[in-house]
Amino acid sequence: MKTLEQLRREIDAIDDRILECLNRRAELAIEVGRIKAEEKRDFHAPGRERQIYERLTAGNPGPFPSEAVRGVFREIISASLSLEAPMKVAFLGPKATFTHLASMQHFGLSAELVPQKSIPAVFEEVEKGRAFYGVVPVENSTEGMVSHTLDMFMESDLKINAEVLLEVSHDLLSRTGRLEDVKKVYSHPQAIAQCRKWLDDNLPGVPVVDVASTALAAQIVGEDYTAAAIASEFAATLYDLKVVRKRIEDQVNNFTRFLVIGRKMSEPSGDDKTSLMFSVKDEPGILHRMLEPFAKRGVNLSKIESRPLKKKAWEYIFFLDLNGHITDPLVAEAVQELKNYCQFVKTLGSYPRAK
């Protein structure tokens, strides 16, 4: 049986080999970046990244956890991409919001993540080339769609390049960490709505104040010993707060969906989703005919959402998510037929489906 010291020496030797391999991988990444620059190709390929994760997790024999494999290689790929070209990503800020967490989850810690004050500002940064990608929230599993994001797609030609699903867990944070000290609670209106029952049961009569973000709530509470914030555990670390209670959201399995937006359409990955926006002609039976092109070709629709047109009363824009890439023959045929019933059809993007 090996001694503790022998096992540690073996681990050190393995770590040395890992470091050697990481540096060799970095050298190859730099060479890939040079070739991409010469051929004027995009340095970031979301589909290729997805294939790496899936190949490694599928071939992982254990006992190292497969989810940890994905996390480790996300950071390796993030660092490698930073050697090919600087990866600047705009996100709906400030720091420590759930959009910030989604950006880190997707791009890793080596990307340059730049907070923006609004969803239109994120779109503008990408449109003007000041950021390569943007990250914005689009949907929450309990609170529904984020209307500001949908509205921006009516005006913007940016494409959806990826989606990120993030489990949203709300903690109650304060300077002291004691529930009895809380005389006021700050948070974003959506976070407050998701924790309403817990607040009523545990802090009845305590004023609850809406602010622009969960991160701003944490900033405010950092200077007030009688207040608490509903925010993420990451916000507690960033703003030096203590956790009063963990996971105070009323519903379990509370997820928010985020979109990664860029200037070009993503290549097929083999497991994609396509998002469309369209306006139909107002006539009897139009909704049935609108869905028929997809039904008869067996194209699965995962979501349909309507938004009123601001310029015309009682007319609507529809947003549709379907399984498949816009270049897939059946999807392309269905979309072409859909155009016969629409005033316009716009492909918002085809991108790898989030797991």
Contact between 87 and 107 (Cβ < 8 Å): yes
Report the 10 Å Cβ neighbour count for 47: 18
Question: Does residue 256 carry a catalytic annotation?
Answer: yes
The single residue of 98, 258, 278, 294 carrying the catalytic annotation is 258
d(CA 223, CA 101): 24
Q: What does the CA dihedral 281, 345, 134, 353 come to, rounded to 10 degrees?
A: 110
Report the 10 Å Cβ neighbour count for 345: 18
Q: Spell out the residues 6+ positions from residue 355 whose beta carbon is closer than 8 angstroms to its own.
A: 165
User: What's phi and psi for 242, nearest 5 deg?
Assistant: -105, 150
Inter-CA distances, 172 with 181, 207, 210, 317, Å: 12, 14, 15, 38
Contact between 347 and 276 (Cβ < 8 Å): yes
Q: Spell out the residues 6+ positions from residue 152 whose beta carbon is closer than 8 angstroms to its own.
A: 119, 120, 123, 136
The single residue of 97, 149, 256, 274 carrying the catalytic annotation is 256
Inter-CA distances, 237 with 154, 199, 243, Å: 38, 23, 10
d(CA 137, CA 123): 12
Question: Does residue 123 carry a catalytic annotation?
Answer: no
In terms of Cα–Cα distance, which of 13, 7, 14, 52 is closest to 269?
52
Counts of helices then strands in the chain (DSSP H, E): 12, 15
Q: What does 264-301 look like in DSSP terms, one character per residue? A: SPPPP-SSEEEEEEEEE---TTHHHHHHHHHHTTTPPE
Report the 10 Å Cβ neighbour count for 79: 17
The catalytic residue positions are 256, 258
